[in-house]
Amino acid sequence: MNIGSYQFDSNVFLAPMAGITDQPFRELCCRLGAGLAVSEMVSSNPKVWNTEKSKLRMIHSEDAGIRSVQIAGSCPDELAFAAQINAENGAQIIDINMGCPAKKVNKKLAGSALLREPAQVEQIVKAVVNSVNIPVTLKIRTGWCENSRNGIEIAKIAQENGIASLAVHGRTRNDFYKGNAEYDTIKAIKAAVSIPVVANGDITSVEKAEQVLSYTEADAIMIGRGAQGRPWIFREINHFLKTGTKMAAPSVNEVRSILLGHVKDLHQFYGDYMGVRIARKHVSWYVHSLALLGKESSDELTGKFAAIFADEQGKAFRATFNGLSSTSEQLEALDLCFDQLSH
């Protein structure tokens, strides 16, 4: 799998997710096997770049792996300027967001709302591609709604105007994240264009990863929600695609190292106040994943650990953890949980 001159060791990518794929999470996923980790979307509106949130999203120089930065907006000139600024700040690939279904994004004719305006799509793609000397990729959905699945039309526009790779989420905008992703449209898009196509949507297991790659014939897959609380899914999929066998689930000690390391990185990156609050949602996702971990592991200790986070006990732990207000309290709570299990 190549994008421009960049070649990837793995064709299993981390999808961009606002409020989730920040620098700490991207670096963690890359360490655990993601071939590419795409950033949270950065607004193309310069008026918001001085906010603390935007400043953190526009730090690229120290990212692990190949640095792909997603930009969002509706004005071709603003998007082109945003591409230039992010390239100057260290981005190696620019990704254009035409897949976000959020109302606050769509009402500004950005995200997946652009799929209703093929002429505007062409203007944006041309402007961004011509503004930078690095590869430009595009992320879309299959269309605006069931009656207007125009993914093939958008894909051809993208290819004709210099897009280096296309990621497709197997839902329309009106689907949001409801129901099941469909892969027929992704398969048809792959057959219609020659640029690399990345399949996205509902890939939450090694078996599903292989099925989607085989059925769509896509060049790569992109994992979004399936990586929340389970960043080791990338190495699991890589191993399964390479060997046809499942690798062992992570041990309790490794999970401890990953989880605590992630929380510490969030504290350091965001500072004490925001770090504590952002860590809460990540720990909640870990708890949910860990409740399922025992089913995948033959290790007795891992099974007992998973049971701790199942059902009401998991809810109780999340409630307690979410009530903690300092970095030291969060780390002590996690340490205590692992220590009690080990003893």
Question: Considering Cα of 215, then 216, then 221, then 226, what sign does the dihedral take?
Answer: negative
The length of the chain is 343
d(CA 186, CA 161) in angstroms, rounded, equals 20
CA nearest to 78, candidates 46, 42, 48, 126: 46
Which residue of the set 29, 30, 75, 100 is catalytic?
100
For 184, the 3-state DSSP assignment is helix
Active-site residue flag, 145: no
One-letter amino acid at 333 equals A
Residue 236: other Cβ atoms inside 10 A: 22
Q: 94: which strand partners?
A: 69, 136
Q: Give the single-character DSSP code of 174.
A: G
Q: Give the single-character DSSP code of 180.
A: -
Show which residues are catalytic: 100
